[in-house]
Amino acid sequence: MTTIDEKPFAVLYSDKASRPNTPVNVIIGACIIKELFDYSDDELVEGLMLDLRLQYALHTTSFTEQPLSDKTLSRFRRRCYDYEQTHGVDLYKAAIQNYNKEIAKMMELDGKIRRMDSLMINSTMLLNPTDPEATYRRKAGKEYRGYVTNVEETVGKNGSVVTSYEYESNIHSDSQFIKEHRTTSYCIDSQKESARCFRI
């Protein structure tokens, strides 16, 4: 089974001798589980202490004490955010995309067919409802204030896996996302208007 490449995250930690940090693999794996099951940080930490399935998924069954706390998660997110603001590099996103591409290889998905879909995110779902970067947009007869996420799936006979995503202010149009992916052609998915399929 493929694992998260921890090397890029070394820039977030001191190179001086100190107490060992929680393995990045465990933190990112926990973040994935948190989003999949819509857990709060507290629910995830409590679940990891009591649920062997979570320990098995994160390879922590052999630990005498589970290496995760709510502070572990919040500090990791803050470090990633601060690094991105300073250097323009989203370490977390890069790790997720690389991991998912490895999964796509394991599923024998060649990447020739991909599917894109966009999702509106209201600013009330974010930490700061008055976020000045949140923008206003009307789509499909509904009004939105916030952001838009564009998700790309690699598709094949063995299934599909999300291999990329983008997060922009919601005035960023679907056509802009398509242009940014340097596609040569695309087709409208018959099941959903906002979904597009294209071949590289």
Distance CA(115)–CA(174), nearest Å, equals 13
Q: In the numeric block, which tokens belong to residue 195?
A: 């979904």
150-191 pLDDT per residue, tens: 888 888 888 988 888 877 776 667 777 777 765 433 443 434
pTM (2 decimals)?
0.67
Q: Which helix (H) or strand (E) is 99 found in, with range? A: helix 91-106
Name, in order, each residue with C-beta under 8 angstroms of 160's C-beta and a sequence gap of 6 or more: 109, 115, 153, 154
9-62 pLDDT per residue, tens: 999 988 887 777 888 999 999 998 998 888 999 999 999 988 999 999 998 988
97-114 pLDDT per residue, tens: 888 888 888 888 887 888
